[in-house]
């Protein structure tokens, strides 16, 4: 009888522990049933986390691909922002700036192709006149392109010449000397043969009723520098018309505007 009672006493705790385990399992099942099924194809949180993480992987390494993609997108956005913030460099192949004369670009390109030089002069009044203006000289493949613009002239024709000295001093710009004439030729027209004209003979510039005038020509004799160079000399507009034949200066009258020709750029 005592041994039977002792055996029952030993079975008592084991039966109690087993019963407790069964109760816990039943409770867990009831919780899952109450929670109901998740979205189609979903897995319990613990299982999903376990599948997303490689065995032995560090938690900080989870979803590295996603973070790498985010960093790449951020870097691209920053690069684009910097590009927008910087002013675009103008591509020289796009042509001249808006408003820039295409013919000017062509002249500059031609001058650069032959290592040319350009020059300019500012013509100031002489002897109490009101005449003034600007002159430019650009070497091209065809010759020296000369452009002179004037204002304050008396209407009509006015002789215009390159003189030998780059000095406009004196009441009548006497320091400029005579016409530039390196070949020792007689006075003539700019269209004459070089042996029949001064290198500095540019003909006439015609002023309208308001006293404004413009002369454009390409001279095959003159250059910027050298034996026939105009740099360091003077350009003079006279009071009267040059008749292109009278010696030594075409009866063109007194100077009314004079400017010293200076080199302004080298190609």
For residue 132, pLDDT over 70 is answered with: yes
Protein fold of 114-266? Immunoglobulin-like (2.60.40)
Query: What is the structure's pLDDT at 78?
Result: 60
Q: How far is CA 154 from CA 79, 202, 257, in A?
A: 64, 19, 12
- Of the candidates 209, 230, 220, 226, the one whose C-alpha atom is nearest the C-alpha of residue 160 is 230
Determine phi and psi for 205, rounding to 5 degrees: -120, 135
Domain coordinates in residue numbering, the chain: 114-266
- What's the whole-number mean pLDDT along residues 20-49? 48
Positive/negative CA dihedral, 252, 130, 163, 105: negative
Stated pTM of the model: 0.57
CA distance 135 to 261: 8
> pLDDT tens, 55-75?
444 444 445 444 545 555 556
Positive/negative CA dihedral, 60, 63, 64, 68: negative
Q: Tell me the pLDDT of the chain averaged across its residues.
A: 75
Query: What is the structure's pLDDT at 77?
Result: 58
Query: What is the structure's pLDDT at 155?
Result: 97
Is 180 within 8 Å of 249 (Cβ atoms)?
no
Q: How far is CA 22 from CA 33, 36, 161, 247, in A?
A: 17, 22, 124, 137
Q: How many residues in total does the chain contain?
A: 267
Is 179 within 8 Å of 201 (Cβ atoms)?
yes
- What's the whole-number mean pLDDT along residues 180-192? 94
- What's the whole-number mean pLDDT along residues 161-175? 96
């Amino acid at each position: 009888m005592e041994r039977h009672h002792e055996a029952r006493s030993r079975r008592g705790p084991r039966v109690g522990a087993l019963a407790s385990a069964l109760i816990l399992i039943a409770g867990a099942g009831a919780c899952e049933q109450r929670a109901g099924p998740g979205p189609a194809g979903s897995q319990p949180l613990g299982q999903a986390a376990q599948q997303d993480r490689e065995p032995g992987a560090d938690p900080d390494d989870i979803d590295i691909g996603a973070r790498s993609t985010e960093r790449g997108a951020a870097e691209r956005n920053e690069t684009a922002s910097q590009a927008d913030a910087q002013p675009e460099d103008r591509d020289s192949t796009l042509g001249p700036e808006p408003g820039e004369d295409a013919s000017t670009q062509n002249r500059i390109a031609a001058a650069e192709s032959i290592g040319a030089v350009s020059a300019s002069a500012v013509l100031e009044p002489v002897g109490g006149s009101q005449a003034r203006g600007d002159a430019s000289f650009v070497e091209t493949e065809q010759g020296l392109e000369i452009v002179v613009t004037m204002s304050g002239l008396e209407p009509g024709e006015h002789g215009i010449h390159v003189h030998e000295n780059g000095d406009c001093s004196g009441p009548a710009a006497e320091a400029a000397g005579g016409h530039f004439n390196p070949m020792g030729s007689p006075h003539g027209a700019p269209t004459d043969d070089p042996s029949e004209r001064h290198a500095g003979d540019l003909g006439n510039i015609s002023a309208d009723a308001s006293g404004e005038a413009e002369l454009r020509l390409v001279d095959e004799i003159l250059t910027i520098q050298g034996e026939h160079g105009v740099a360091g000399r003077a350009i003079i507009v006279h009071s009267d018309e040059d008749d292109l034949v009278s010696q030594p200066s075409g009866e063109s009258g007194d100077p009314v505007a004079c400017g010293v020709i200076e080199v302004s750029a080298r190609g």
